[in-house]
Amino acid sequence: MTATAAPLVGPAEVASFNRDGFLIVPGLYAPEAVLEWKRIMSDLVAQEPHNQSGVRVWGADNLHPVLRAGMGDDRIVPVLTKLISPDMEFLSAKAVFKNSATKFGSPWHQDCFYWDGNAKFSVWIALDDATIPNGCLRFVPGSHVKVFPRIVINEAIGFGNRIDEKDLAGWPILDVAVKRGDAVVFHDRAVHSSHPNVTGADRWSLISTYRVASEKDACGLNNDLWKFPFLVSGRSVNGGAR
C-alpha cells in the first residue's frame, strides 16, 4: 500500500490564513523545480537593461510556458482552492531579486495600493533560502483587516506606494525566513516588507498573483498586464481561460 501525503492545507491552516492574512506553506515546491524557474527568470532578466528595482513582471499571456504551467499546477491549485475559493484565475508573475547591486529591503506596503477592484492573492515563492541577512519577508499579522494610510515616494528603486513605519506602531511584526521551495500565500491587504540583502549573494523570489474568478472584477479591463487571465480552477466571469 502506498502512503498518501497529508494535504498541505487543512482547517487549521485555513483559520490561520483568515486570522493573519498570510500563510507559510513549507515545501510546496521541490527545490530542483524552483531552481529551474530561477534559471529561466534570471536568463530573461539578464537580457534586459539593468533594473534598479529588482522587479520584473509578466502577464499570464506573456509568461514563459514552464512558469505558466507551474502557476496552475496541482501543487498550488489545491492550496488556493482550499484557502480562498474553488474558482481561481492567475493574473501575473513577478521576479524579485536582491543581490550585491540590488540590496535594499522592499519598503512596508499593501499590494492593494497598486491595484483596484476585488481582493487579489499572491504567492511568494522562495527560489533561494530566504534569511534575515539576505532579505526575507516581514509580515504584520492581522493587518489585512484594513487599508493603511499610503505615502507616495518617487525613487529609482520603485515601490512608490508605501506605509510609514510609525503607522505600524503597536502591530506585531513577523520575520518569515523560509527554505527554497517554500511559499507564502497572502492577501493584498497583508502589510509586508523585506529585509535588505547584506550578504552580497543572490536572493530570488517569484510572486504569482491570483483572484477569485467567479467574482466580477473591473480591475484589469484597461490593464494590458491582466487582460488574459489564466483560469486554473473552476469557472470565470472575467474572461479567464485555460
Write the binding mask 89 to 108 for ligand AKG: x where contact by CB under 6 A, - elsewhere: -----x-x---------x--
Which residues have C-beta within 8 Å of that of residue 158, sequence separation ≥ 6?
52, 53, 55
Instruction: Report in angstroms how near the CB of residue 237 gets to ligand AKG at its nearest.
Output: 27
Instruction: Report in angstroms how near the CB of residue 179 gets to ligand AKG at its nearest.
Output: 15
- Look up residue 168 and give its DSSP letter: G
Please report whether residue 183 would count as binding ligand AKG according to CB under 6 A: no
Please report whether residue 110 would count as binding ligand AKG according to CB under 6 A: no
Is the CB of residue 160 less than 8 Å from the CB of residue 39? no
# residues contacting ligand AKG (CB under 6 A): 10
Is the CB of residue 138 less than 8 Å from the CB of residue 194? yes
Name the residue nearer to ligand AKG (CB basis): 94 or 150. 94
Please report whether residue 194 would count as binding ligand AKG according to CB under 6 A: yes
CA distance 22 to 122: 9
Name the residue nearer to ligand AKG (CB basis): 8 or 55. 55
Helices (H) and strands (E) in the chain, counts: 4, 12
CA distance 110 to 96: 16
Please report whether residue 205 would count as binding ligand AKG according to CB under 6 A: yes
Contact residues: ligand AKG, CB under 6 A: 94, 96, 106, 111, 135, 137, 192, 194, 205, 207
